[in-house]
């Protein structure tokens, strides 16, 4: 393994030169160096990167990252080089084009070459090669392109969609075609024809109606009979439902769907769950002018499962915020409203309003520790102060839940209590639970005194790799965000080292978001910590900047 302490930020070109020989290290060490080099993408190393990309003796990952670095640096490939790489890709048609072919284990995917084939002649050559490929290979490459957020070539993808539809027209669509059509439907509506052809010959089951709920236009392609059944199943938009029934009848059906789903949740052995009908009912309530009233009535009078209470509370909140907030204040502490209180508090946090103050202060005394934590988090974020909150903070300082106690320390530290700043630093280092350490790092990174604790953040980034569920290492991720927000370009060395040692994609994503903002700031005007946080979130760090020690519902 390499000694990351020998890597220091000097300039993009010099760091690239330092990383280049590390690509020869065995196993993951070389691959980590290749990934960081791909992210930095120094143009001065274009000749070396091109040699790596075209060398079949190199590992597949190294070649992929070299190609990504060239694309990121806007360095093109010579015609002869691109042609040779395309020959290599098309020499064998792997069953799964997302991966390297079984017989050509170092060959990059076609996807990696698309950024270099955008000009007219190159695109024409690529189309000709794809035309000669088998339908299965074209479908595989289309599937791999459909998963990409940043489309390397939208025109080529549209052409592949058209060719795939032509191929399907000559045979019966299979399950793989249906899955591909579903994934393409938002960006390529014509793909719905394939999904409709597949569904038309299949059973009219829950899977069909769930597809229609998520893609309502599918019902138009399946004929009047299935559209009528979809309306009865409540999976069409409100305007379409009103073509089959009156508003009063639909409201009655929606109420029944909610209560039927409630029964299956309470007595799951009695009958299978019908999620599509329940989800359709919720969507109708959110659109219908009397939906909030119906949701409020169900919340007030029905003996509902906690999950359904939460769903109805969210419907009410999105349409009638004032009523839902009043309900939260009045009934949020009831045991049956535990989930409801959580979802409402999470939704309030997205867009706090001064009219929520009373309900938030009430939630500080709810029996659920997550509700207390969420309410305090919102009040602190909007800089709420005053005697009522101060009294609550004094009470919550002795809270039985460690996360609530830590959140109180953070709120006090933000208000200038020096002893609480030190308590945050100690919690970030010595708490037994990694989520407590992560929360302490997050809170510490949001206050002015954070600059005094750079070594603590760096140590957490490089060493605190304890994990939690969903492949998170929250302490390392929060440390990366804090370094990027508080120190900006001054954190470049720590972030470079953190990238090389990142234990998973989540941590690496946080580092890359923070490092990209730091590199951009080096080329422009200085930024404040709050602006850096906004930029880090925009550049892909939202998963980490919005992290909470309590899992989402």
34's tokens:
């290749």
Residue 97, pLDDT score: 47
Summarised one tens digit per residue, pLDDT across range 440-467 is 999 999 999 999 999 999 999 999 999 8
Is residue 495 very low, low, confident or very high in pLDDT (cuts 50, 70, 90)? very high
pLDDT higher than 80, residue 398: yes
pLDDT higher than 60, residue 30: yes
353's tokens:
């309003």
Residue 416, pLDDT score: 86
421's tokens:
């700043």
Nearest to 143 by CA among 194, 211, 106: 194
Q: Determine contact, residues 174/198, Cβ cutoff 8 Å.
A: yes
CA–CA distance, 546 with 542 (Å, rounded to integer): 6
pLDDT higher than 90, residue 176: yes
pLDDT higher than 80, residue 143: yes
Nearest to 173 by CA among 145, 192, 146: 192
Residue 215, pLDDT score: 96
Query: What's the whole-number mean pLDDT along residues 275-280?
Result: 94
Q: Return the residue matching tokens 């329940």.
A: 278
Summarised one tens digit per residue, pLDDT across range 334-347 is 999 999 999 999 99
Query: What's the whole-number mean pLDDT along residues 307-318?
Result: 93
pLDDT higher than 50, residue 103: no
The distance in angstroms from the start CA to the end CA of the chain is 40
pLDDT higher than 80, residue 383: no
Nearest to 310 by CA among 347, 356, 284, 280: 347
Say what percent of the chain tops pLDDT 90: 81
| Cβ atoms within 10 Å of 228's Cβ, excluding its own | 14
* pTM of the model as a whole: 0.89
Mean pLDDT for the chain overall = 92
Is residue 98 very low, low, confident or very high in pLDDT (cuts 50, 70, 90)? very low
Q: Determine contact, residues 395/375, Cβ cutoff 8 Å.
A: no
Query: What's the whole-number mean pLDDT along residues 211-220?
Result: 95
Residue 104, pLDDT score: 42
Q: Determine contact, residues 517/487, Cβ cutoff 8 Å.
A: no
Residue 384, pLDDT score: 76
Nearest to 516 by CA among 404, 527, 129: 527
Residue 101, pLDDT score: 41
Q: Determine contact, residues 348/315, Cβ cutoff 8 Å.
A: no
Q: How far is CA 214 from CA 180, 211, 277, 363, 447, in A?
A: 15, 5, 12, 35, 43
Report phi then psi at 399, rounded to 5: -60, 145
Q: Return the residue matching tokens 């070109």.
A: 13
Query: What's the whole-number mean pLDDT along residues 294-311?
Result: 90
Is residue 552 very low, low, confident or very high in pLDDT (cuts 50, 70, 90)? low
Residue 105, pLDDT score: 59
CA–CA distance, 258 with 313 (Å, rounded to integer): 13
Give the contacts of 426 (CB within 8 A, at least 6 positions apart): none
pLDDT higher than 60, residue 1: no
Comparison of pLDDT for 149 and 266, the residue scoring more: 266
């Amino acid at each position: 393994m390499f000694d990351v302490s020998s890597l220091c930020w000097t300039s993009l070109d010099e760091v690239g030169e330092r990383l280049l020989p590390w690509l020869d290290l065995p196993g993951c060490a070389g691959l980590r160096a290749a990934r960081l080099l791909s992210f930095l993408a120094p143009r001065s190393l274009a000749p070396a990167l091109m040699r790596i990309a075209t060398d079949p003796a190199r590992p597949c990952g190294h070649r992929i990252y070299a190609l990504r670095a060239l694309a990121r640096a806007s360095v093109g490939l010579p015609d002869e080089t691109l042609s040779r790489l395309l020959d290599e890709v098309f020499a064998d048609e792997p069953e799964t084009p997302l991966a390297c072919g079984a017989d050509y284990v170092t060959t990059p995917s076609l996807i990696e070459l698309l950024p270099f084939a955008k000009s007219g002649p190159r695109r024409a050559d690529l189309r000709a090669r794809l035309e000669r490929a088998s339908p299965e290979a074209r479908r595989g490459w289309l599937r791999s392109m459909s998963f990409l957020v940043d489309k390397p070539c939208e025109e080529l993808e549209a052409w592949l969609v058209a060719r795939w539809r032509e191929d399907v027209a000559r045979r019966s669509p299979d399950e793989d075609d249906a899955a591909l059509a579903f994934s393409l439907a938002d960006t390529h509506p014509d793909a719905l024809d394939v999904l409709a052809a597949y569904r038309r010959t299949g059973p009219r089951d829950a899977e069909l109606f769930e597809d229609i709920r998520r893609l309502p236009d599918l019902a138009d392609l399946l004929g009047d009979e299935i559209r009528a059944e979809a309306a009865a199943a409540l999976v069409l938009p409100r305007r379409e439902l009103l073509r089959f029934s009156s508003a009063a009848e639909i409201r009655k059906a929606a109420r029944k769907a909610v209560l039927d789903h409630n029964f299956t949740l309470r007595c799951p052995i009695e009958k299978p769950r019908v999620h599509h009908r329940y989800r359709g009912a919720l969507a109708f309530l959110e659109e219908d002018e009397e939906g909030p009233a119906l949701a409020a009535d169900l919340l007030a009078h029905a003996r509902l499962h906690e999950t359904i209470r939460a769903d109805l509370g969210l419907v009410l909140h999105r349409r009638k915020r004032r009523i839902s907030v009043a309900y939260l204040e009045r009934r949020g502490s009831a045991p049956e409203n535990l989930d409801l209180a959580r979802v409402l508090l999470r939704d309030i946090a997205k867009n706090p309003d001064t009219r929520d103050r009373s309900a938030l202060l009430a939630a500080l005394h709810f029996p659920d520790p997550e509700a207390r934590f969420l309410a305090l988090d919102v009040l602190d974020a909007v800089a709420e102060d005053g005697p009522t909150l101060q009294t609550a903070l004094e009470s919550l300082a002795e809270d039985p839940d460690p996360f609530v106690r830590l959140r109180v320390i953070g709120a006090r530290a933000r208000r200038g209590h020096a002893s609480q700043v030190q308590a945050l630093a100690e919690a970030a280092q010595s708490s037994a639970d990694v989520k407590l350490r992560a929360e302490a790092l997050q809170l510490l990174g949001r206050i002015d005194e954070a600059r005094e604790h750079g070594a603590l953040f760096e140590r957490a980034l490089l060493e605190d790799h304890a994990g939690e569920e969903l492949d998170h290492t929250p302490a390392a991720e929060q440390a990366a965000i804090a370094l990027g927000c508080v120190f900006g370009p001054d954190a470049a060395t720590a972030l470079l080292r953190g990238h090389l040692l990142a234990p998973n994609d989540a941590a690496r994503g946080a580092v890359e978001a923070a490092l990209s903002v730091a590199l951009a700031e080096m080329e422009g005007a200085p930024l404040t910590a709050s602006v850096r946080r906004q930029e880090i979130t925009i550049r892909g760090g939202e998963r980490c900047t919005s992290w909470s020690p309590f899992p989402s519902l």
